């Protein structure tokens, strides 16, 4: 069930009844893997990948600090396992003072599409980081700390989850992932909230081999080469 904090926020967002997350009826494959193997795999993988990507993350943090000003690390509230909120780490891609400067941007709401093209609030460096998903690298820290998994449904914004249909909350029965089936599929370009069926399909086939397949396909997917997986 949702924590009291997010439950109140979701209720306010959709004027919903007290119980926002409905009973889960999806059948999760390999429950022993999810309960015992996956957590160990995530912690070890999160630690290793955090160390391996640090030589990339540190120069990018410095470059962001020099070109965008303060706060090169972006921390945002997202919805995780069982509807609990947590702080996700990302590299900043927008100007730190983007809300203080009036900008007449007309385009898709990033709270829905997440990554929009030609958004003037995104810096040139930020566009490069987004293009290759480099802004997501600090999420390996989230994996090591235990709030995320290497593979799983992507963590959504609280405002978006507040507008979910009851069945969509089934994606919260596992930890959110740095990558997932949605990212590596041919449907990875559509809004995340419109691809919840991909998350359900992942839950119904979850296994170590499935996670490894998704991890292997993540790099080409980040380069724009998605498949029908």
Rounded to 5°, the CA angle 205-210-214 comes to 125
- Between these two residues, 130 and 103, which has the higher pLDDT value? 130
pLDDT for 205: 93
43, part of any domain? yes
Q: What pLDDT band is residue 109 in, cutting at 50, 70 and 90?
A: low
pLDDT at 2 exceeding the cut of 50: no
**Residue 208, domain extent:** 25-222
13, part of any domain? no
141, part of any domain? yes
Sheet holding 85-91, edge to edge: 85-91, 73-79, 156-157
78, part of any domain? yes
- DSSP annotation of 25 reads -
216, part of any domain? yes
- Between these two residues, 5 and 101, which has the higher pLDDT value? 101
18, part of any domain? no
177, part of any domain? yes
pLDDT at 36 exceeding the cut of 50: yes
CB 182 within 8 A of CB 188: yes
Hey, what are 194's tokens?
Answer: 């419109």
Question: What b/e string do you get for 42-71 counting C-beta neighbours within 10 Å, with b at 16 or more?
Answer: bbebbeebbeebeeebeebeeebeeebeee
23 half-sphere exposure, CB direction, 13 A CA radius: 1
Nearest to 111 by CA among 101, 119, 102: 119
Calpha distance 161→163 (Å, rounded)? 5
| Four-residue CA torsion sign, 32, 37, 40, 42 | negative
What would the pLDDT profile of 184-213 be if each residue is shown by its tens digit? 986 556 777 677 889 999 999 999 999 999
pLDDT at 74 exceeding the cut of 90: yes
Number of domains in the chain: 1
Dmax (CA) for the chain in angstroms is: 52
9, part of any domain? no
Q: What pLDDT band is residue 62 in, cutting at 50, 70 and 90?
A: very high
């Amino acid at each position: 069930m949702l924590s009291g904090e997010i439950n109140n926020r979701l209720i306010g967002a959709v004027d919903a009844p007290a119980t926002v997350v409905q009973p889960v009826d999806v059948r999760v494959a390999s429950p022993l893997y999810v309960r015992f193997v996956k957590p160990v795999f995530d912690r070890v993988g999160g630690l290793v990948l955090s160390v391996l990507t640090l030589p990339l993350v540190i120069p990018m943090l410095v470059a962001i600090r020099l070109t965008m000003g303060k706060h090169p690390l972006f921390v945002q509230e997202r919805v995780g396992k069982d509807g609990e909120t947590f702080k996700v780490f990302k590299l900043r891609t927008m100007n730190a003072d983007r809300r203080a400067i009036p900008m007449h941007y007309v385009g898709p709401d990033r709270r829905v599409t997440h990554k929009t093209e030609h958004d003037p609030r995104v810096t040139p460096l930020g566009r490069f980081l987004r293009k290759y998903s480099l802004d997501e690298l600090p999420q390996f820290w989230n994996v090591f700390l235990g709030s995320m998994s290497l593979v799983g449904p992507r963590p959504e914004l609280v405002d978006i989850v507040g507008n979910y249909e009851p069945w969509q909350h089934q994606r919260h029965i596992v930890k959110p992932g740095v990558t997932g089936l949605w990212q590596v599929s041919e449907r990875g370009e559509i809004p995340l909230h419109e691809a919840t069926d991909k998350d359900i399909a992942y839950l119904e086939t979850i296994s170590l081999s499935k996670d490894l397949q998704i991890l292997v396909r993540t790099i080409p997917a980040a380069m724009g080469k998605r498949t029908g997986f």
